């Protein structure tokens, strides 16, 4: 059986990807900080889908933990065929009011861990001439939304660049750029989303299903939902000045930077 490693699989989009890969017959390596939730999830997936689940507790703000996950990805004796870099969090503060240590932790998880884990996984995939890397980014990567948006912009451009570099190797790389998704993300960040209209929300299966279709088609960027396809096209191809104007309120209201 092939193996997929997913970071942040205990809820939201990460759980959606874990379920999808388990449904497709992949064994799973589940990476998150909460070992109790990981064990419960592993038992559930093993019972429901008949796959083997390996639990790998790790805090991706800690370099030693990132290195342990990287070692697992580079293990040629038990190869990983799919990597999903999903772990992340948001801050309910502007850049000037947030702790610089919190800002650094966000970059550690959203940028540094993504880079290092991808670098660990890809050489083996190239040698085997098959594999996939799914980096969960955000439509926030195209707005002016502080460190979160800047980090997600890095994830999107990194994924696009790597997809080009690996063209013809059998390894596919896709940045998944969802908008607002019904998950625990905003609640954990302490962000009140009660005034957000329902038409702006997506469900996890819509994001995951679109992503898997786009990965199969070797598309470097995946955007789910017609509302976000239009919005992202405007932000990506319109003048940057209009994009800044359209999202200027983000500097006063941080909720738009939160993704999942």
> What CATH code is carried by the domain that includes residue 145?
3.40.50.720
Distances from the Cα of 32 to the Cα of 58, 76, 111, 125, angstroms: 5, 22, 16, 23
Backbone angles phi, psi at 128, to 5 degrees: -85, -5
User: What pLDDT does residue 193 have?
Assistant: 52
Q: Is 228 a catalytic residue?
A: no
Q: What is the pLDDT of residues 80-118, one digit of tens each?
A: 999 999 999 888 788 888 899 999 999 999 999 999 999
Of the residues 49, 148, 228, 229, which is catalytic?
148
Count of domains for the chain: 1
Model pLDDT, residue 96: 83
Distance CA 15, CA 20 (A): 8
Q: Per-residue pLDDT for 197 more than 90?
A: no
pTM listed for this prediction? 0.87
Say which of 49, 152, 228, 229 is annotated catalytic.
152
* 148 part of the active site: yes
CA-CA distance, 66 to 5, in Å (whole number)?
Answer: 13
Is residue 36 packed enough to be buried (19+ CB in 10 Å), middle (13-18) or exposed (0-12)? exposed
* CA nearest neighbour of 85 among 1, 154, 186: 154
- Alpha carbons 15 and 30: distance in angstroms, whole number: 10
- Rounded Cα distance, 111 and 157, in Å: 11
Q: Is the pLDDT assigned to residue 211 strictly greater than 90?
A: yes
Distance CA 92, CA 20 (A): 31
Average pLDDT, the chain: 88
CA distance 99 to 111: 18
Structural domain boundaries, residue 49: 3-257
The CB-based long-range contact list for 38-45 (8 Å cut-off, 24+ gap) reads: 38/9, 38/10, 41/9, 41/10, 41/15, 45/18, 45/19
Residue count (the chain):
260
Specify the pLDDT at position 106. Answer: 95
**pLDDT tens, 164-186?**
999 999 999 999 999 888 665 54
């Amino acid at each position: 059986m092939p193996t997929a490693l997913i970071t942040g699989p205990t809820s939201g989009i990460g759980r959606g990807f874990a379920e999808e890969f388990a449904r497709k017959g992949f064994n799973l390596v589940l990476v998150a900080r909460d070992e109790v939730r990981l064990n419960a999830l592993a038992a559930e997936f093993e019972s429901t889908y008949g796959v083997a689940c390996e639990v790998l507790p790790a805090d991706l703000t800690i370099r030693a933990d990132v290195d342990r996950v990287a070692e697992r990805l580079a293990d040629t004796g038990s190869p990983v065929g799919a990597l999903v870099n999903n772990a992340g969090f948001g801050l309910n503060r502007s850049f000037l009011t947030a702790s610089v240590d919190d800002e650094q932790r966000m970059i550690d998880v959203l940028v540094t861990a993504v880079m290092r884990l991808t670098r660990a996984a890809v050489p083996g995939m190239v040698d085997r001439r098959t594999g996939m890397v799914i980096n969960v980014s955000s439509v926030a990567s195209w707005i002016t939304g502080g460190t979160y948006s800047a980090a997600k912009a890095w994830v999107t451009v990194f994924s696009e660049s790597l997809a080009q570099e690996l063209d013809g190797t059998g390894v596919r790389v896709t940045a998944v750029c969802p908008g607002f998704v019904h998950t625990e993300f905003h609640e954990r960040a302490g962000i009140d989303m009660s005034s957000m209209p329902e038409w702006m929300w997506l469900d996890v299966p819509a994001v995951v299903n679109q992503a898997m279709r786009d990965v199969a088609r070797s598309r470097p960027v995946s955007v789910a939902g017609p509302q976000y396809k239009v919005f992202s096209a405007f932000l990506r191809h319109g003048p940057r000045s209009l994009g800044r104007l359209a999202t200027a309120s983000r500097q006063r209201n941080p909720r738009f930077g939160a993704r999942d």
